[in-house]
């Protein structure tokens, strides 16, 4: 038996390989409690595929380990100097986020490499004194992305002190000292929390796999070794299943739209492939790790609606979460949320029950809205506009016309709002996959075992050396997956390129593909200009535990013309006037104007 368990901010979703689904309220104080409850009827399955918010919550709340940073002499303040961009260009009172490592916990060591990775000063034999109170160590030496021999030596010696140690050449072996330092520090900050949680998880099934931000499954020991790779764990599963469902319905070019209880996550997909991102910003911190290019905002069913100090209606990013939850949960009637507005507006049928909550209380929802001086349609309009802007970020702002795309809606609240968003951007259609309300859990079972590896490439380098290095990187990635999966492995390689003199790069299959991609993304190319390769990438994947079809298809349903509500076992669809919903051959609802 294989089980997918996705922990969200409001609900923990479960999908079993025989097609059964379950929702239980999440337990934010200890997410493992909800996982145990989710598995109560499926004790110790053969396989558990898990998407977790443990890393994300720990980083947002900064309740991880107290980290000491060991870095090259003269570079202790890189983590605070950061980049010259500011949170608000014209706001002189805007502050940067506090660095995760205070000045007293930043340690410098002698020893130095030059920009080619050659040693110009050896490491000293003595270790730096570790300040009292440090709970984890992060090691990030200058240019260790090109040659990590000094960093490995120092890390091995620091490990003898008894504290967990993370080194940058293992966590994020890419150039840019600030981003590499932050990513290493974040891993050290999250390490003990994720390690303890994953250790509890490891006893719950014969084989436990965890979803990474890059959209692949890894064993718990690999996840614990690189906890920063788990920051988009749950949303990545939804993207993978959304892509499979949309492609089966005949829509390879889409935006996935996952609206849950706490947040909304969107991702551009072209040709059935989610857009990748070599760097993400989470909790105002830049993380340089392979990931799906998922854009998240604080807008979900539990997002709190209020009248702000200027008298305007505002929604989110604060959420009522799982406890106390929206007013309609019956635990309070003073905090109004998007779910309360959807219920009062008739988008959620009266008498609907949520798992673990019971029948929704529409009177409590109305009291909360009225008490705050708000109306349901106004709340819906405000949250819809915030989500439209999120869709623009991953389409219009990247040179992609949303009129050529479909919107794949899932999550407990996504199908309630999808048509309004698609209409605002004149999108081609809305696709609501089977099991849309638990699709992220479905995606966990339908995602591959995967290894993503990256290394910096010194510029300039020979074409022959580049090809050889890519082959070696691909072999390393394949061996990592094959050792666990014991199955055939597919490998893809890519390179990060830029025109000489540019400060940022694009990921493309080969340097020959760079000019065309540069023109698509930036509106121009430079014929004849030299192209630099700055990083090499390889991704190895093995077959996923299941396919979407293996979970069975829902029964055929009759077409419906809006305005109407379509109730599914795990979510509700709102079909506005002027829209028609039909079921595709794959079992998904396809909505068009």
Strands, E, within 404-447: which ranges? 406-410, 430-432
Give me the percent of the chain exceeding a pLDDT of 90: 68
What whole-number percentage of the chain has pLDDT above 70? 97
**Residue 212, Cα to own-chain centre: how many angstroms?**
8
Gap between the Cα atoms of 341 and 582, Å rounded: 26
Joined together, the tokens standing for residue 260 give: 């849950």
CB hemisphere CA count around 80 (13 angstroms)? 12
Q: So what's the pLDDT on residue 441?
A: 92
The first and second tokens of residue 45, run together, are 């399955």
pLDDT digits (tens, 9 = 90+) for 44-83: 889 999 999 889 888 988 889 999 999 999 999 999 998 8
Tens digits of per-residue pLDDT, 78-106? Answer: 999 988 877 677 887 877 788 999 999 99
Whether 560 and 31 have beta carbons less than 8 Å apart is answered as no
pLDDT tens for each residue of 422-468: 999 999 999 999 889 999 999 999 899 999 999 999 876 667 789 89
Radius of gyration of the chain (CA): 24
Is the omega angle on the peptide bond into residue 324 within 30 degrees of 0, that is, cis? yes
Look-up: residue for tokens 């390989």? 17
Q: What's the predicted TM-score (pTM) here?
A: 0.90
Q: What angle do CA 554, 557, 560 make, to 5 degrees?
A: 135
């Amino acid at each position: 038996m294989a089980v997918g368990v996705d922990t969200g901010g409001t609900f923990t979703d479960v999908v079993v390989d025989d097609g059964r689904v379950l929702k239980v309220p999440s337990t934010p104080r200890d997410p493992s409690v909800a996982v145990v409850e989710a598995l109560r009827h499926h004790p110790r399955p053969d396989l558990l595929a898990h998407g977790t918010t443990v890393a994300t919550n720990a980083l947002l709340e900064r309740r991880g380990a107290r980290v000491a940073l060991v870095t090259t002499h003269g570079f202790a303040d890189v983590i605070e100097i950061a980049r010259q961009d500011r949170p608000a260009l014209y706001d002189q009172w805007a502050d940067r986020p506090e660095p995760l490592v205070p000045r007293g916990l930043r340690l410098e060591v002698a020893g130095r490499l030059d920009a080619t990775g050659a040693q110009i000063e050896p490491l000293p034999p003595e270790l730096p004194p570790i300040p009292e109170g440090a709970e984890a160590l992060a090691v990030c030496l200058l240019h260790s992305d090109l040659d990590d021999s000094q960093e490995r030596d120092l890390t091995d010696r620091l490990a003898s002190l008894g504290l967990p140690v993370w080194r940058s050449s293992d966590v994020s072996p890419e150039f840019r000292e600030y981003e590499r330092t932050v990513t290493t520090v974040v891993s050290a900050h999250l390490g003990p929390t994720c390690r303890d949680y994953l250790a509890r998880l490891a006893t719950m099934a014969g084989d436990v796999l965890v979803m990474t931000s890059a959209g692949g499954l890894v064993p718990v020991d690999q996840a614990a070794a690189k906890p920063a790779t788990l920051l988009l764990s749950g949303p990545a599963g939804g993207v993978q299943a959304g892509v499979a469902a949309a492609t089966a319905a005949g829509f390879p070019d889409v935006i996935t739209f996952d609206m849950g209880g706490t947040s909304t996550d969107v991702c551009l997909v072209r040709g059935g492939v989610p857009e990748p991102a070599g760097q993400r910003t989470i909790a105002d911190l830049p993380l340089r790790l392979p990931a799906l290019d998922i854009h998240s905002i604080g807008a979900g069913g539990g997002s709190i609606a209020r009248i702000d100090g200027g008298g305007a209606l505002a929604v989110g990013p604060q959420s009522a979460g799982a406890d106390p939850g929206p007013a309609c949960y019956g635990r309070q009637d003073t905090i109004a949320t998007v779910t309360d507005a959807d219920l009062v507006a008739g988008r959620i049928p009266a008498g609907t029950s949520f798992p673990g909550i019971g029948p929704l209380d529409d009177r409590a929802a109305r009291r909360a809205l009225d008490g705050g001086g708000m109306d349901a349609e106004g709340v819906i309009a405000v949250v819809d506009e915030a989500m439209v802007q999120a869709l623009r970020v991953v389409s219009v702002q990247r040179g992609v016309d949303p009129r050529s795309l479909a919107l794949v809606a899932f999550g407990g609240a996504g199908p309630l709002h999808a048509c309004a968003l698609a209409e605002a951007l004149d999108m081609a259609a809305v696709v609501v996959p089977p099991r849309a309300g638990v699709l992220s859990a479905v995606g966990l079972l339908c995602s591959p075992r995967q290894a993503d590896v990256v290394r910096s490439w010194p510029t300039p380098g020979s074409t022959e050396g580049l090809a050889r290095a890519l082959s070696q990187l691909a072999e390393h990635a394949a061996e990592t997956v094959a050792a666990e999966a014991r199955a055939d492995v597919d490998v893809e390689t890519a390179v990060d390129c830029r025109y000489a003199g540019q400060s940022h790069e694009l990921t493309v299959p080969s340097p020959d593909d760079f000019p065309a991609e540069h023109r698509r993304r930036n509106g121009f190319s430079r014929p004849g200009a030299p192209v630099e390769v700055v990083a090499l990438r390889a991704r190895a994947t093995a077959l996923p535990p299941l396919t979407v079809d293996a979970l069975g298809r829902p029964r055929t349903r009759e077409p419906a013309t809006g305005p109407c509500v379509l109730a599914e076992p795990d979510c509700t669809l709102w079909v506005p006037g002027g829209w028609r919903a039909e079921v595709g051959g794959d079992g998904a609802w396809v909505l068009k104007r």
